[in-house]
Amino acid sequence: MLSLDLSFYNWGLVTNYLLKGFLFSVQLTIIATVGGIAFGTVLALMKLSGKALLEYPAAFYVNTMRSIPLVMVILWFFLIIPMLIGRPIGADLSATITFIAFQAAFFAEIVRAGIQSVPLGQTYAAEALGMTYGQNMRLIVLPQAFRNMIPVFMTQVIILFQDTSLVYAIGAYDLLKGFEIAGKNYGRPIETYALAAITYFVICFSLSRVARKIQTKVAIIR
Amino acid sequence: MALDFGVFCKNTLDGGVVDHCFSSVFGLAANSDPSYLDWLISAWGWTLLVSGLGLAIAIVLGILMGALRTLPDTKSTYRFLLWFSTCWVELFRNIPIIVQVFLWYYVIPAFVTPLKSVPSFWLVSIALGFFTSARIAEQVRAGIGSIPSGQRAAATALGLTTFQTYRYVILPIALRIVIPPLTSESMNLIKNSSVAFAVSVPELTLFAMQAQEETSHGIEVYLAVTALYALSAFFVNWIMTLIEKRSRIPGVVSISPSAKLAQ
């Protein structure tokens, strides 16, 4: 019968192996969220602009990103960026750039749906008041759109946090990598992978509960 | 920068050019050393095998769990099944797929020893299937939720048991409603099958990583692999559209839950 040795579960494990990886996973999630929303909003506005010159490149970008496995996107960027800038780039920086670019495609679709959920009357009213396109978007449409987007958006951030574990493919030091290295050094892969699963579950499950609470609070009143 | 797809006609052992690109797959050449093209095709086969098995598991379990989550809480058995299916969905939805693959590869065989002799592609298929079943279950639940409650009431009034109600009234409608979201989950599953590289299943992503390193023709290799992933996803999309058309009931316009929300 299998005996689990859990004696190595102590603070040393956390401070020596896990903390660095956890902080990187969180940092990657936050940067990719902020960068992805910024870039994704631009893509969404391009797609909704009605001008072929803006619409088609944005649609092509979004569709391409969404139809390739994330692991392949990570590998692509890790291969291409050093070729473009002419010098090697660390796995951490490469992962950060990849996740901003990848998440932008997903946030673009969420933002687009959010903008389309704002009744057209709002846009017409703003136009009737003499607002420019920029004022209309910034003051009228986007504030309402972002509020409508919050539920889908939070689900996407939880998925994003889970997806950061795929930087395993290029060897960046994230939470999963921390567990893996600890498992190798202690010679206890079974226990550390089990603990990794529990850790991810606790984080993602708690986040989804928080998300559900917030969803009921921000439900828009019409 | 010129692309050189000649790399696929090279021998995987010494990098020399083979006399026919499909040297070993179709037995076309006297020189039977495998070329990179042979390897690519066999890697694609592994991707399709793992995805296909995973999809079969995901659809069966997803429909089952999704249906269980909509049971009425009138009996203690039903309450248990409700609780069980909810736990199932939360468990498999909240752990990253690559961690679940490691669980099935390292952790679970340590407890369930017969799994130690199971080939790793099966374990990855199970991991993918369970992971996706949680997502499909949510779609099925939403689909069942969008059916007017009168249908269930009518079935009860006719004296159907709960099982019969699901079998003959609810699921036939719900399953047609969930085909569009099921299509996108199936395409996600093919994309997610790329994590199989982590436990050395010789599928497309592992091929991409190894061939890129050996040939230093990364762009050509990645382009080919990416194209095959896209092709596989389009193929699934095409099959699902076919199924949707075939299963359509004349006169019943099914609206997917997401389409309903967008209106």
* Mean pLDDT value across residues B177-187: 90
Q: Do the Cβ atoms of B230 and A70 come within 8 Å? A: no
Question: Which tens digits make up the pLDDT trace of B94-148?
Answer: 999 999 999 999 999 888 888 888 888 999 999 999 999 999 999 999 999 989 9
Closest chain A CA to residue B91: A201
Q: The domain containing residue A37 runs over which residues?
A: 11-218
Closest chain A CA to residue B191: A69
Question: Residue A17: what pLDDT?
Answer: 80
What is the Cα–Cα distance from B48 to B17, expressed in whole angstroms?
28
Two structure tokens written together for A179: 């567990």
- Contact residues, chain B to chain A, C-beta under 8 Å: 90-91, 93-100, 102-103, 106-107, 110-111, 187, 190-195, 197-198, 205, 208-209, 212, 218-219, 222, 225-226, 229-230, 233, 262
Question: Residue B261: what pLDDT?
Answer: 46
- Give the residue ranges of chain A where pLDDT is below 50: 1
B111, B193, B226 member nearest A2 (Cβ): B111
Q: Between the CA of residue A140 and those of A120, A137, B69, B116, what are the distances in Å?
A: 11, 6, 40, 60
Q: Do the Cβ atoms of B197 and A71 come within 8 Å? A: yes
What is the Cα–Cα distance from A86 to B54, expressed in whole angstroms?
41
Asked if residue A4 is part of any domain, the answer here is no
Two structure tokens written together for B146: 């969008």
* Mean pLDDT value across residues B75-93: 94
Q: Does A208 contact chain B (CB < 8 Å)?
A: yes
Check pLDDT > 50 for residue B44: yes
Residue where the block lists tokens 């699963």: A197
Question: Residue B31: what pLDDT?
Answer: 57
Task: Kindly report the length of chain A.
Answer: 222
Q: Is B73 exposed, middle or buried (0-12, 13-18, 19+ CB in 10 A)?
A: exposed
* In chain B, where the domains are located: 7-147+174-262
Residue where the block lists tokens 């379990």: B61
B93, B106, B218 member nearest A189 (Cβ): B106
Residue where the block lists tokens 């893996």: A180
* Mean pLDDT value across residues B53-72: 95
Distance of alpha carbon B56 from its chain centroid, rounded?
Answer: 7
Q: Which residues of B touch A67 (CB under 8 A)?
A: 187, 191, 229-230, 233
Contacts of B87 (CB under 8 A, 6+ apart): none
Asked if residue A18 is part of any domain, the answer here is yes
Q: Which residues of B228-263 are buried (b: 16+ CB within 10 A; e: fewer)?
A: bbbebbeebeeebeeeeeeeeeeeeebebbeeeeee
How near does any CA of chain B get to the CA of A162, in Å?
5
| Side chain identity, residue A184 | K
Question: Residue A149: what pLDDT?
Answer: 86
Question: Residue A1: what pLDDT?
Answer: 43
Question: Dihedral, CA atoms, A115, A121, A122, A123, nearest 10 degrees?
Answer: 70
What is the Cα–Cα distance from B62 to B129, expressed in whole angstroms?
9
Asked if residue A1 is part of any domain, the answer here is no
Question: Residue B144: what pLDDT?
Answer: 93
Q: Do the Cβ atoms of A68 and B98 come within 8 Å? A: no
Question: Residue B28: what pLDDT?
Answer: 59
Contact B109, A218 (CB under 8 A): no
What does the mean pLDDT of chain B come to?
Answer: 86
How much is the pTM? 0.87
Q: For A129, how many CA atoms within 13 A lie in the half-sphere containing its CB? A: 12
CATH number of domain containing A174? 1.10.3720.10
Which ipTM did the prediction report?
0.86
* Mean pLDDT value across residues B24-37: 66
CATH code of B7-147+174-262, in short, is 1.10.3720.10
Question: Residue A214: what pLDDT?
Answer: 85
Phi, psi (rounded to 5 degrees) for B10: -90, 150
Q: Do the Cβ atoms of A193 and B103 come within 8 Å? A: yes
Domain count, chain A: 1
Question: Residue B16: what pLDDT?
Answer: 72
How near does any CA of chain B get to the CA of A130, in Å?
29
Closest chain A CA to residue B199: A169
What is the Cα–Cα distance from A3 to B30, expressed in whole angstroms?
54
Lowest mean pLDDT segment, chosen from A3-7, A166-170, B15-19, B223-227: A3-7
Q: Do the Cβ atoms of B226 and A208 come within 8 Å? A: no
* Mean pLDDT value across residues B214-221: 85
